[in-house]
Amino acid sequence: MISTFKRALSLLALGATLPLAPITQASEWPTDTVRLVVPYAPGGTTDILSRKVADLLQQQIGTVVVENRPGAGSTMATGQLARGGRGADHTILMASPGHTIGPVIYKNLPYDPVEDFKFIRNVIEIPNVMVVPAGSPYNSVEEFVEAAKNKEMTFSSSGVGSSIHMSGELFKTMTDTQMTHVPFRGSGEALPALLSGDVDVSFENMPTVLSHIKSGKLRALAVTSAEASPYLPGVEPLSKIGADMGLGDFVTTAWFGLITDNTMSDEAIKTLQTALDKAMDDQGFEDFAAQIGGVPAPQEGDAFRDYVAQDMQRWQRVANQADLK
């Protein structure tokens, strides 16, 4: 009788533990496809980088799908992320300077670029390059500035509020030249206009133009980083070349990092950070970074949040100088 009673208790105990297995399994993130949102059109630096990161993340966490949602200088997709909603706990976004520039030039945005998001990890930093078409008559920054003081030039960008746009506006202001901004829906659409000579100049992200510079289809006049890039030997920083033209303080770079909305769990954030660390240690990522002229970025979590807040202050100063609203 006692042994029968003990067996019954054992079976009850076993039955009580059975439901726990699927509950524990369900709490592991991700439980669905992860969506990596690109707030720009296909073909530009943000898109190229996002697809590489998605490929590497898939090796760690499962299926990652890239979705392009261009519009309003990245603020449309970013606003959708801030609102959360269906699938928010599995949605991440590749942010860039457009994340901090948008609130500076677009008033009354329905989100705060710092408070309404969780910051997963900065991924890479890339200089912009001042480039002109191969058929351009301008072979130096000095020649370009001299010409732009006497005739109106055009400069292209991947959209209003991108670092490419803001770099052009800053150049225009600091050199007191005549330049008209020609925005496109992403660098993929802007590049053909530059290559064909339909626009005079651009301050494009290096990955978009590097191969065309090496092939001779574009001419690099300067890089916008504080130091020369090892990927473009012989091309000096704009701040050094243009010191006598009012450009001594000209430094702009593009950063790219993953953010999400405030509803994502700490467990999911940690899973993504761990997966990104492994992905960025992969030789494939190191080769990719070198190929596009980028430097892996170190900021994660709160450090990334602080970096973004400081970047917003920097672009606010640029917008004030250029009188952009």
pTM of the model: 0.77
Residues 285 and 56: beta-carbon distance below 8 Å: yes
Q: According to the model, what pLDDT value does residue 132 have?
A: 98
Specify the pLDDT at position 53: 95
Give the pLDDT of residue 38: 96
Q: CA of 90: how far to CAs of 49, 71, 267, in Å?
A: 19, 22, 12
Task: Give residue 60's pLDDT.
Answer: 92
Tokens of residue 164, six digits: 């490419």
CA dist 293 and 37 (Å) reads 23
What domains appear along the chain, each with residue ranges and CATH number?
31-126+254-322 (3.40.190.150), 127-245 (3.40.190.10)
In this prediction, residue 149 carries a pLDDT of 94
Residue carrying the six token digits 């960008």: 157
Look up tokens 């761990």; give the residue: 274
Ordered mean pLDDT values, 10 residues apiece, the chain (325 residues): 44 42 53 94 88 94 94 88 84 94 87 96 94 97 96 92 89 92 89 97 92 96 92 94 92 92 94 95 90 89 96 86 74
pLDDT of res. 22: 35
Q: Which value, in Å, is the radius of gyration of the alpha carbons in the chain? A: 24
